[in-house]
């Protein structure tokens, strides 16, 4: 691995930041969980999403190949991802503006599982892995071997963590009270707005 890999790592960091800043299903889940249960719940969801996507990125950097979904597989992913977001939106409507600070009697998916499913059922994520990430890792591998590709994958994950962590913190601040920042976004229903947007654009 040489110093030539540093620009690729910087590019990976930038791609991660850009990916996390674009509203989508993962950001909708992180926002919804942090608004409903505070920063702790939001970071649990982020841990599930980050761990799942990190495994996929490292596997890709180590030489595994990912083909962008198309045809029937793409339609199935869209329907499953849309169903997940609709389910989370319904859950949000049931809870209203109440922050979930303790477990209720109703069984539901834990936040980490929701974060992981947001990754696995997101068609855009698989397209990203099969196109942008694959090209980025291939270029790094040509410059410095597999180790360089792994470094770029880690840089990309750092960028994602910074962006996703910001979403969680904003959501946690938004759950603090009725006069919070979430009231400024989408009339106090910020996570529902993001869920509806992501559902319509997936």
Q: Which residue did the predictor score with more confidence, 78 or 132? A: 132
Percent of the chain with pLDDT over 70: 68
Q: Which residue did the predictor score with more confidence, 47 or 93? A: 47
Give the number of C-alpha atoms closer than 13 A to the C-alpha of residue 84, restricted to the C-beta side. 27
* Residue 165 structure tokens: 């962590």
As to burial, measured by CB atoms within 10 angstroms (0-12 exposed, 13-18 middle, 19+ buried), residue 173 is middle
In whole angstroms, give the CA distance from residue 23 to residue 68: 20
Q: What is the dihedral of CA 61, 162, 45, 196, to 10 degrees?
A: -100
Global confidence as pTM: 0.74
pLDDT the model gives residue 96: 53
pLDDT the model gives residue 116: 92
For residue range 135-152, list pLDDT tens digits in order.
999 988 888 888 899 999
Whether pLDDT at 102 is above 50: no
Q: Which residue did the predictor score with more confidence, 131 or 80? A: 131
For residue range 161-197, list pLDDT tens digits in order.
999 999 999 888 866 554 444 443 343 444 444 444 4
**Mean pLDDT estimate for the chain:** 77
- Domain layout of the chain by residue ranges: 5-98+107-201
């Amino acid at each position: 691995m040489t110093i030539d890999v540093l620009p690729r790592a910087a590019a990976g960091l930038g791609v991660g930041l850009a990916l996390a800043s674009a509203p989508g299903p993962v950001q909708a889940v992180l926002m919804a969980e942090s608004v409903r249960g505070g920063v702790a719940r939001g970071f649990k969801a982020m841990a599930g999403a980050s761990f799942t996507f990190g495994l996929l990125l490292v596997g890709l950097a180590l030489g595994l190949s990912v083909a962008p979904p198309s045809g029937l597989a793409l339609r199935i992913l869209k329907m499953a991802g849309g169903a997940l977001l609709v389910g989370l939106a319904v859950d949000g409507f049931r809870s209203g503006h109440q922050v979930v600070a303790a477990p209720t009697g109703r069984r539901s998916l834990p936040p980490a599982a929701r974060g992981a499913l947001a990754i696995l059922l997101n068609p855009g994520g698989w397209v990203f892995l099969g196109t942008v990430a694959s090209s980025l890792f291939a270029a790094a591998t040509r410059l410095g071997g597999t180790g360089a590709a792994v470094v770029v994958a880690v840089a990309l994950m750092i960028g994602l963590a910074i962006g996703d962590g910001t979403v969680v913190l904003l959501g946690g601040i938004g759950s603090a009270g009725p006069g919070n920042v979430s009231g400024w976004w989408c009339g106090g229903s910020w996570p529902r707005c993001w869920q509806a947007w992501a559902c319509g654009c997936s």
